[in-house]
Structure 1
Amino acid sequence: MNDQIGWRGSAEKGESHLTLTTADDALVQAAWKRAEAMRPAFDAMMREICDRTNERGSQLPGDRLSEGVTEVDYSLKTLESLRGKVARELRKDLEISTAEVLGKMKDLNRYTLLFEAQSYTRGVQETFQELRARGFEEIKVQNTWIDPVYKGINSAWIHPESGQRVELQFHTPDSFDVKMDNHALYELSRSGALIQEFGEENSEAYIDAANQLQNERYQTYRDVNGDRLPIEIPNDHEQLAKPFAREELLGIAQEHHLAVMRERAGVPLPNLAQNQRTSVTQNPATQQNMSVSQLAEMKGGVNATSTRRSGQNGQPASTQVQSASSTQQSGKAVNPAAGLARQRSARGNAQNSGNAAAQGPAAQQNAARPRQFPQQNNNAGPRRNH
Structure 2
Amino acid sequence: MTEPTGGWKGEGYELSPEQNRVVTERWEQAAAARDRMDAMMKDVQQETAQSHGGKLEGLQYSLKDVESFRRKAAAAVEEKNVPVEKTARKVNDLNRYTLTFEPDSYTEGVERTYERLREQGYEPTAEKNTWQDPVYKGVNTTWRHTQSEEKFELQFHTPDSFKAKMENHELYEISRSNDIDELAKGDEELAKSYLDAANHLQNERYKNVRIPPGQERIGEQLIRDELNPRVPAEHVELIRRKEAEKRAENEAKALAKAEAKKLAEQASLQLDQPAQAASRGLSDRLSASAAPQRPRQTTEAPRVDPLRAQSRGRGPSL
User: TM-score, normalising length from structure 1?
Assistant: 0.60
Q: Give, in angstroms, the shift of residue 81 of structure 1.
A: 1.2
* Residues 43 and 75 in structure 1, CA contact (< 8 A), matched pair in contact too: yes
Which aligned runs of 4 or more in structure 1 are off by greater than 4 angstroms?
none
* Residues 76 and 83 in structure 2, CA contact (< 8 A), matched pair in contact too: no
**Residue 234 in structure 1 maps to residue 212 in structure 2:** yes
Q: Give, in angstroms, the shift of residue 200 of structure 1.
A: 5.2
**Residue 119 in structure 1 maps to residue 125 in structure 2:** no
Superposed CA RMSD in Å reads 2.1
**Residue 212 in structure 1 maps to residue 200 in structure 2:** yes
Q: What's the counterpart of residue 141 of structure 1? A: 127
Max radius of gyration: which structure? 2
Identify which of structures 1 and 2 has the higher relative contact order when contacts are C-alpha pairs closer than 8 Å and 6+ apart: 1
> Pairwise mapping of residues 135-284 of structure 1 onto structure 2 (< 5 A)?
135-198=121-184, 199=186, 201=188, 202-219=190-207, 230-266=208-244
* Residues 115 and 123 in structure 1, CA contact (< 8 A), matched pair in contact too: yes
Q: Which runs of 5+ in 2 are unaligned?
A: 253-318
* Residues 197 and 231 in structure 2, CA contact (< 8 A), matched pair in contact too: yes
Q: What's the counterpart of residue 41 of structure 1? A: 36
User: What amino acid sits opposite 1:294 in the alignment?
Assistant: E
The alignment covers a number of residue pairs equal to: 245
> Pairwise mapping of residues 12-161 of structure 1 onto structure 2 (< 5 A)?
16-54=11-49, 55-62=51-58, 72-94=59-81, 96-161=82-147
User: TM-score, normalising length from structure 2?
Assistant: 0.72
- Aligned to 2:92, what secondary structure does the other structure show? coil
> Percent identity at matched positions?
41
User: What amino acid sits opposite 1:101 in the alignment?
Assistant: T
Distance, in Å, in 2 between the alignment partners of 1:134 and 1:292 is 40
Alpha carbons of structure 1 residues 200 and 82: separation in structure 2 relative to 1, 3 Å? farther
Alpha carbons of structure 1 residues 74 and 292: separation in structure 2 relative to 1, 3 Å? farther
Q: Give, in angstroms, the shift of residue 47 of structure 1.
A: 0.3
- Aligned to 2:41, what secondary structure does the other structure show? helix
- Bigger helix fraction: 2
Q: Give, in angstroms, the shift of residue 210 of structure 1.
A: 1.2
Q: Give, in angstroms, the shift of residue 252 of structure 1.
A: 4.6
- Aligned to 1:53, what secondary structure does the other structure show? helix
* Residues 19 and 87 in structure 1, CA contact (< 8 A), matched pair in contact too: yes
- Aligned to 2:135, what secondary structure does the other structure show? coil
- 1:338-360 C-alpha deviation (Å, 9 max, x unpaired): xxxxxxxxxxxxxxxxxxxxxxx
